[in-house]
Amino acid sequence: MESEPFGLIRVDEVLQALDAGEIIEEYPEDKPYSSCLILGRTLAGRPIHVVCAPVSTDRRLIVITTYQPDPERWEADFKQRKRL
C-alpha cells in the first residue's frame, strides 16, 4: 500500500472537501460511469482532490480516488495543472 505523500486523508476530510468542493474537470468518456475531479478544502483549509463518479439513477457517489494536490504539479489555486 502506498502512503499519501502529504499525510493520511481521513474520511471526514473527504466529506468536508466534497461538501464545499467544485468540479474542476469532467471526464464524460470514463466507463462504466462518467466521472469528474472535484477540488475541495477541509475545515482546516487543506486542499483535497476527489475523483468520483456520480450515479444519479442510484442516488450515489462512487469515490474513485482522493489525494492532496502537489504544489509542484498544480497551480497555486490547485485548479489547473502546471505545464512542465
pLDDT tens-digit map of 13-56:
999 999 989 999 999 999 999 999 999 999 999 999 999 999 98
Record the pTM. Answer: 0.89
Q: Distance between CA atoms of 13 and 42, rounded to whole angstroms?
A: 5
Q: What share of the chain is helix, strand, coil (3-state, %, to 5)?
A: 10, 40, 50
pLDDT at 1 over 70: no
Q: How far apart are CA 76 and CA 70, in angstroms?
A: 10
